[in-house]
Chains A and B, each alone.
Chain A
């Protein structure tokens, strides 16, 4: 008998429903439904070009800073496409990377402790003491809130506030930091590194980074990440949640992220190979359509016709990180590598932030005014950015000083969008074949669900 089960997911960003089709105790099909739609792309139409810097961060309260960076990149790309060389100082570029990284670190910490860990409390029927991880009351839960709030102070130092600053503009950044702003930021990063070492990996970061064999790490460490992984193995979670083994990263942040599309081998990313498919989306090229088989506001996005997974695991694979190549060889692209990659990324970002902070030369200009007024430009441009959840793409078309069209493809669209005629989305595929609805939810959460971005 076929049974249909619909669940409203909590502990995700925004509203997501999971519709599962059961047959003989096995999930035969899974539909990820994003039921809310605000219409940001349409709201942007007709607005003055620079106002996009104010509006797009408000797509998402979690990774709004990444939207700001994607918009800035798109606007600077617009200058380039129109034949004007736009100059950015090294200082401005470093500050942008630092604040973007701070937001990603914030996201990963909150996601791990607020969204993911509580699932294990449900699985583990209190044979082990996990009271430190109970929402609101647990000590480790509370620390995650404290430190995720601490790292975004770095964004406040350079950008005034987090969430929702628009401090980065074509030509640079608006701030003019002092030496002491930089030393305070370094101190924040240092305290984050110490927190990470003492609470998450349970060893010095140098030792952690030298580990290439995942079993070695799990044996050597007894802190939160290792505790989590041990529980995962205990509950057989190393076999669940396999997606397509195809990984996409759209922008380079040396030395931690490298652009590329990997399916067995790594290829260069080419934006022209990307397409959006609306067969199962309410939102179509011809307007809104609620007919029968359509089930989500999100569109499907494909690269060379295939679904790709984007996000921290994709970044580790595209960066040819040994620990993760080994994890993938053993466990495939499943629940554990996907989650570990997010936690792993925190330390890589923090170390990069520290290096970048030390490289800032405050004597350089923060902002170099573009020689041409942006209102005089016309054309099409792309802004690429690696956000917390993966590859973020903004495309804009401007005419007569106004935005004519704006298109946003978020990381969640790649991972959690609907199916196309040929393929399910990576998260839908990862859920099929499971025999437990809690585990299905957990697999979905391993992609770091953000419905506000999925549909915008």
Chain B
């Protein structure tokens, strides 16, 4: 039976709790297929330190090593018993078939990496956009894959579940430039956003609290320039930030916590500093001008008042 070990570094537990929300498969469904060796929030009788020892002595085979949370070698700031999280990963890295970083912290350091007193907070293979994490840039696990990053603050449970299941069924996994599963991160939150009609016709929201209007131009939405399928695979299988009226924060991206002023769009002479992916600034200005000059009466009205 394939096995899974879940360990945590500097974390908020948000990825664990997001994962407990999983549907198709649910948290308990997946662990009828795969043996859960240990999870700090779930396990009852198992002793993590003994399991680690058994893995290093080849008494237990480890298929999936899952890491949640940022990594540090500094035991004063993060400790699992007498070990640092970095020491545990070091012991297990060559034993696991696959290493999976869940969430932005394990992928690239994230918010804890901004703390100045502890200078060596990193992700497993990255620190923000640089490949200077705990493990070397060319590191690969026994299966031949590098650390597979499932970015997001937090992850959507389906992103994790479908990645694990694809590997379980021995399907090939295409990874993107940041070693994320391409089939998840090839979409943008913009794809499937229910505000797309407003984006097309450049009907920009001026303030929060309305169903109508696009959040991109004024309110900081990163939907057109973030890799995540938030409007394809809905959150809690119900909605998404942009559907509810909140700007996308770009929380799956490697520079997420380096950004500032999330609720406003930075502009130069009326042009957003960052334009939608794949579009030049010139193309964006041209199409905006055309869209605004060709009026769509529908997007000017409250939805309840449209024909």
Give me the interface of A with B, judged by CB distance under 8 Å. Answer: 8, 10-15, 17, 35-40, 42-43, 47-48, 50-51, 53-55, 58-62, 64, 110, 114-115, 118, 121-122, 135-137, 141-142, 145-146, 148-149, 152-153, 155-167, 169, 171-176, 178, 282, 288, 290, 365-367, 369, 452
Is A61 a contact partner of B115 (Cβ separation < 8 A)? no
Is B236 a contact partner of A51 (Cβ separation < 8 A)? no
Give me the interface of B with A, judged by CB distance under 8 Å. Answer: 8, 10-18, 20-23, 26-28, 31-32, 36, 40-46, 48, 70, 76-81, 111-112, 114-118, 153-154, 207-211, 230, 234-246, 249, 251, 257, 260-263
Is A36 a contact partner of B209 (Cβ separation < 8 A)? no
Is B12 a contact partner of A58 (Cβ separation < 8 A)? yes
Among candidates B26, B44, B239, residue contacting A145 with C-beta atoms closer than 8 Å: B26
Among candidates A135, A157, A367, residue contacting B42 with C-beta atoms closer than 8 Å: A135
Minimum Cβ distance to chain A for residue B149 (Å)? 18
Contacts of B81 in A (CB 8 A): 8, 17
Measured in the bound complex, the distance between the Cα atoms of B44 and A47 in whole Å is 41
Contacts of B244 in A (CB 8 A): 156-161, 165, 167, 174-175
Is B43 a contact partner of A365 (Cβ separation < 8 A)? no
Among candidates A53, A58, A169, A178, residue contacting B111 with C-beta atoms closer than 8 Å: A58
Is A174 a contact partner of B116 (Cβ separation < 8 A)? no
Contacts of A166 in B (CB 8 A): 246, 249, 262
Is B18 a contact partner of A174 (Cβ separation < 8 A)? no
Measured in the bound complex, the distance between the Cα atoms of B21 and A148 in whole Å is 8
Interface centre among B36, B81, B246, B251 (most CB of A within 10 A): B246
Minimum Cβ distance to chain A for residue B42 (Å)? 6
Contacts of B242 in A (CB 8 A): 160
Minimum Cβ distance to chain B for residue A367 (Å)? 3
Among candidates B17, B31, B262, residue contacting A62 with C-beta atoms closer than 8 Å: B17
Knowing A39-B115, A152-B21, A367-B207, the reply to whether A10 touches B40 (Cβ < 8 A) is: yes
Knowing A38-B112, A135-B43, A160-B240, the reply to whether A174 touches B245 (Cβ < 8 A) is: yes
Residue of B with least CB distance to A169:
B208
Among candidates A43, A51, A161, A282, residue contacting B240 with C-beta atoms closer than 8 Å: A161
Residue of B with least CB distance to A173:
B209
Knowing A10-B44, A55-B111, A367-B207, the reply to whether A163 touches B154 (Cβ < 8 A) is: yes
Ranked nearest first, the 6 interchain pairs of A and B with the lowest CB-CB distance are A61-B14, A367-B209, A161-B235, A39-B115, A160-B244, A366-B209
Is B263 a contact partner of A15 (Cβ separation < 8 A)? no
Contacts of B42 in A (CB 8 A): 11, 114, 135-136
12 A-B residue pairs with Cβ-Cβ distance under 8 Å, sorted by A, are A15-B80, A38-B77, A42-B116, A42-B117, A59-B12, A61-B18, A61-B154, A149-B23, A155-B236, A157-B239, A167-B245, A176-B209
